[in-house]
Structure 1
Amino acid sequence: AWKFRCAVPHAGRNRFTRFGVFLRHTGLEGLPQLLNVLDGSMAIVGPCPHAAAYNAQYKARVDGYMSRFKVKPGLTGWAQIHGHDQRIESIEDMERRLALDLEYIENWSLELDLRIVLLTVWQMAGRVIGGLRKAAAQQIRH
């Protein structure tokens, strides 16, 4: 999946550029994934894709993990609008995210997809406004 590079390459963990911090905070770093939607490899709504390297680990340690592949991965999803849009730090994090992904798959409807899209837009607008306010406050201080 395509994404903007937000961090300095080979600079260690969490070495984000200023613009990268803004992109990550607002959720806009995934905007290039629209190309994946256009080529049919992703949907607008669905479980968040993970790096392929993690799939074997989660498959072995999290019951039902492979069930999330019944649908295409999405730009946004049920887990993301419920606050599970950050790095997975533990198996418990993955289990919570998987439970929401499976809930989405089991209850899929056009109405649910529209609800998720609208909630995503609302959350992103709040993040963008918050990011702009934070940037303006930092400019005033300097």
Structure 2
Amino acid sequence: MAADTSSAPVSAPIANVRDWPSEDAPEWAAFHFNRCWPWLEASLAIQPVQTHAREHVWEEIASGRSQIWPTPNSCCLVEINTYPSGLKAMFGWLAGGDLDELKVTCLALEKHARECGCDVFAVQGRRGWVRALEGFEDAGTTIVKVLRCPD
């Protein structure tokens, strides 16, 4: 069963899979993953090294390790981790599409993270995200040196 997005405001996140009856959740997630894949693929393509192929990203969603948060013109993937210290964090690890929609999605994700008892909400991305998202601060830099090219 596909979600009806015809009356959704352009910038509003489409209901998350957690709001759907469990028997419809896999189809809902697959529909939005396939629809949003071009934006996610574009985000992966700008990374200096490829960490995930399409099937890897889908497995993260299908297994429940990551949640998909789609809008009509964008998508964000998050996971919630609890660290040995007890810190609970929502981590946005892949997003693509319309920036204005992603900003609104981040507000909804922050609310969801609080509801889930998260201590922090972190987003991985290029430096421009620090300017784009209110209340976030730069928490470090990841640098990469490619040691071998994949076959």
TM-score, normalising length from structure 1?
0.31
Higher normalized strand content (fraction of residues): 2
TM-score (norm 2): 0.29
